[in-house]
Amino acid sequence: MSSSDGPHAAPRRSTRVRAQIPVRITSQDPAFEFSEACHTLVVNTEGCGVRLTRPLDAGLPVSVSDLPDGGSARARVANRTGRARQHLVHPAGASRLGSAGCV
């Protein structure tokens, strides 16, 4: 198995693990109101993949809350996969979903 998604993708920094962890994704952009409870599809130390009921634009700042330890993490929507409602969410700044208890 390749450690990248394509010929120009950077290698993964950690292994993806399939896990259904209940979380809440909330937009931090005041111009875009959105908050939804969902489950992760995959997680790693760099972020998580989630399925939502509506598509979100890449780069949207969000918070990931209701983590197993009760914490939350600031993040950004990294991209939307081929299935329009599956998103990869990566931590913003120095916060890590793993350190907040997601992994």
* Overall pTM > 0.75: no
Q: Is residue 100 part of a domain?
A: no
Range(s) of the domain holding residue 26: 17-91
Q: Is residue 30 part of a domain?
A: yes
pLDDT by 10s per residue, the chain, length 103: 444 455 555 566 788 899 999 999 999 999 999 999 999 999 988 888 998 988 899 899 999 999 999 999 999 998 877 665 677 777 765 344 443 333 2
CATH of the domain at 31: 2.40.10.220
DSSP letters for 44-88: ETTEEEEE-SS---TT-EEEEES-TTS--EEEEEEEE-SSTTEEE
Q: Is residue 2 part of a domain?
A: no
Q: What is the structure's pLDDT at 50?
A: 92
Look at the chain and report how many structural domains it folds into. 1
Q: Is residue 103 part of a domain?
A: no
